[in-house]
A and B are shown apart, each in its own frame.
Chain A
Amino acid sequence: NFMLTQPHSVSESPGETVTISCTRSSGDIANNYVQWYRQRPGSSPTTVIYEDTQRPSGVPDRFSGSIDRSSNSASLTISGLKTEDEADYYCQSYADNNWMFGGGTKLTVL
């Protein structure tokens, strides 16, 4: 099994850009798609990025995803931060019928 490691928390000001990383412990990050889920307090998670870079309908293009094979990591970038972006963000991937989440990153927009 592999692990996905995220920073515990990040903070940034409204209007700025923030990037959340997700590093895979073993196996090539490019071998299996990475998803990003947002969870606001008291709510169920929702998808903001799937298949590394794809945005579901309704997710603004301020949200983008990427992978970097050199660091074996994925990243979620949110530009033009709004207070409504404040939430927990989880990366997720899978391999061999094991489905893993990162530990989650609390985004504070202050």
Chain B
Amino acid sequence: EVQLVESGGGLVQPGGSLRLSCEAAGLTFSNHWMTWIRQAPGKGLEWVSNIKRDGSEKYYGDSVKGRFTISRDNAQNSLYLQMNSLRAEDTAVYYCARLIYNNGYHWDYWGQGTLVTVSS
């Protein structure tokens, strides 16, 4: 059974940094693109970032470009999101998800999410 478990969320002051982790089990992690998606309290889903299987390609949403960095360690079956220059509007539950390809792409497994609160 595929399991994705996020960690690293918490309370951080505006302008601060935080690093999220997502540990994967039950899948060949290195075979899959991975994604971070977030959801502000009471709001909808927002794509944050994708990373290719070997980490050679990374893509970001406009709202986080230049501040967030996605990375992975395939040996540790882990995905990361380094978040710098955090703002109040970054407050959200952050999900990691596996991106799979059939004839197109979609996310088939999601973690339970980790809450990031940016506040003074």
| A→B interface (CB under 8 Å) | 1, 32-33, 35, 37, 39, 44-47, 50-51, 54, 56, 88, 90, 92, 94, 97-104
Contact = CB atoms under 8 A, between A and B. Distances in A.
Interface in B70-99: 95
Q: SS class of chain B's interface: helix, strand, loop or mixed?
A: strand
A75 B110 CA distance: 23
Given A44-B113, A45-B110, A50 B104 contact: yes
Interface of A is mostly: strand
Given A90-B44, A101-B45, A103-B44, A51 B102 contact: yes
Interface residues of B, number: 21
B10 to A, nearest CB: 19
A32 B104 contact: yes
Contacts of B46: 101
Given A44-B112, A44-B113, A99-B50, A104 B44 contact: yes
Contacts, number: 56
B108 interface: yes
A107 to B, nearest CB: 14
A45 B109 CA distance: 9
